[in-house]
Amino acid sequence: MTKVIGLTGGIGSGKTTIANFFNELGVPVYIADDGARRVMQSENIISKIQTTFGDAVFENNVLNRSKLAEIVFKDKARLDQLNAIVHPAVKEDFEAWLLRHNNYEYVIYEAAILFESGRYKECDLVITVTAPEEVRISRVLKRDNTTREHVLDRMKMQWNDEKRISGSNFVINNDNLKKAKEEVVKILKILNIKQNQS
């Protein structure tokens, strides 16, 4: 049976870069954020978001994800409301994806809030990606055209590294890409040895 490896890390830790390394080495990767974007285009989900958050998060009848993010990353109760709408649909999307990849020994499920959402319970193993806080902040500022305050708001909504690490099987420190890639190769070797022993 295909094993699901959870891959997580705080915003700006570079977990998508690490996911891409795994992908380059032949491991299929599901990115939960991309899944969320897909399901948030469905009429059913759009309608639920409109009912819960009103017209303020829409522009010309199109969902404005930036406006929605501004609301939910300042207010945990609102974030919980959004997650309650989106997470079940992402779970369904992932399960359909997994069926299409069930001939692989391993797949990666990459999600920023793997622990917070409880999805780690459905993973066989968990890898956490870490990087120093200032490195993470500068990466997000470059990538997202946002403010430092907004990045810190998002960080506050996520578990800290210590908490994530305590629930993980492997940790990849991603402040040096070359070393991080070596860690990915090392983890795959360990997984392949385990697979051959079982």
Strands 62-63 and 58-59: antiparallel
What DSSP designation does 198 have? Answer: -
Q: Measuring CA to CA, how many Å separate 184 from each of 88, 194, 195?
A: 30, 15, 16
6, β-bridge pairs: 109, 126
15 known ligand binder? yes
What SS3 state is found at 105? Answer: coil
14 known ligand binder? yes
Q: Measuring CA to CA, how many Å separate 14 from each of 26, 42, 107, 141, 171?
A: 19, 28, 18, 13, 13
As a whole number of angstroms, the distance between CA 70 and CA 55 comes to 14
Q: What token pair was written down for 83?
A: 């997650």
Cα torsion 168, 133, 32, 178 to 10°: value is -80
Q: What token pair was written down for 159?
A: 């578990």
Quickly tell me which residue has 């049976």 as its tokens: 1
Quickly tell me which residue has 């989106």 as its tokens: 86
17 known ligand binder? yes
- Binding-site sequence positions for ATP: 12-17
Per the annotation, binding residues are: 12-17
